[in-house]
Amino acid sequence: MKVRVLGSAAGGGFPQWNCGCRNCDGVRQGTLNAKPRTQESLAISPDGKHWYLINASPDIHRQIQEFPSLWPKETRGSPIEGIILTNGDMDHCLGLLSLRESHPLVIYATAAVMRGFTAGNPMYRTLERFPGQVTWKLLSIGIEQSLTLSRNRESGLSIVAFPAPGKRPIHLAGSEPVGPEDNIGLYVREAGATPALAYFPSVAGHSGPLAEALQGATAILFDGTFWSEGEMQEAGVGNAQARDMAHWPTGGIQGSLAFMAGLAPRRRILTHINNTNPILREDAPERAEAKSAGLEVAWDGMEFSL
């Protein structure tokens, strides 16, 4: 299985258009030892020819442009065979509306995420202009499901959805209680093979299913949104705490770092990194602390095989 990080930043990207915090300003000016990043998305492939995206970020056009494997191989067409959604956040779904150029899309999502994106959304009609423009393939928690090619042929990859502690998207907050289908992580593997990828870009805290999914994985991409609980406040960009935004900070006594350190010898990579996070600075002490715990920091264009 081939894996390519298309985007490694949290919502807003890095730098964020309206943010002049130390990190955003420094990366714009070129005075910071840090790479710019687009909003979180991953591409996976069984063979380097057929690809699946996990999440469709608002930066999707740029991400496709930056990765020649996703370019059309014929007059009209795309090597993107399907798109899997881990939740209904705008940062994960807005890109779908940008793929409206009369191309059939296959979208894998839980019923809750599908409803959240389609119900009462007049803009979704841009993806309903002809029969079969979108095929939804519903994910059930805990059930292994094949990723398919056209005419229902097997791609060789399968996924399992695990519930991850989280919240409903901001635009749907309060409309229904949070359920297990609102925010998932994925376990991806080649059919019958042992190496597996766990993709958990949004995790509010520890849970049993989460620990179970990660124990079986060879490589883990995990929520690295915030280093600390009060990071937004410290950066002067707002009062929200990490927990208000349903993200488990990496650092501190209660942080995910100790949990992640216990998952060695797997490859462990932080992604969905907010622009206020000190680990974006390659010379930051927090970055060194993560590294000494065995954690890597994802960057746009990072590739590996399992």
- Interface residue list for Zn ion (CB under 5 A): 19, 21, 24, 275
Task: Count Cβ neighbours within 10 Å for each residue of 161-198 and write b for 16 or more, e otherwise.
Answer: bbbbbbbbbeebeeeeebebbbbbbbbbbbeeeeebbb
Nearest residue to 300 (alpha-carbon basis) of 123, 136, 64:
64
- Which of 161/232 has CB closer to Zn ion? 232
List, edge to edge, every strand of the sheet that includes 41-45. 134-138, 105-109, 80-84, 51-54, 41-45, 2-7, 303-305
Name the minimum Å distance from CB 166 to Zn ion: 23
- Which of 36/142 has CB closer to Zn ion? 36
| Per-residue DSSP letter, 228 | S
- Which of 24/198 has CB closer to Zn ion? 24
Name the minimum Å distance from CB 21 to Zn ion: 3
Listed in sequence order, the residues at least 6 apart from 223 whose beta carbon sits closer than 8 Å to its beta carbon are 200, 201, 202, 203, 247, 248, 256, 270, 271, 272
Q: What is the torsional sign of CA 86, 7, 302, 247?
A: negative
- Which of 57/275 has CB closer to Zn ion? 275
CA distances from 43 to 4, 28, 57, 205, 294 (A): 5, 27, 12, 25, 23
Name the minimum Å distance from CB 29 to Zn ion: 13
Q: What is the torsional sign of CA 8, 9, 15, 17?
A: positive
- Which of 55/276 has CB closer to Zn ion? 276
Name the minimum Å distance from CB 208 to Zn ion: 35
CA 254 to chain centre: 23
Name the minimum Å distance from CB 10 to Zn ion: 10
- Which of 32/80 has CB closer to Zn ion? 32
For 296, phi then psi, to 5°, come to -100, 165
| Structural contact between residues 21 and 276, judged by C-beta atoms closer than 8 angstroms | yes
Name the minimum Å distance from CB 236 to Zn ion: 9
- Which of 10/19 has CB closer to Zn ion? 19
Name the minimum Å distance from CB 226 to Zn ion: 12
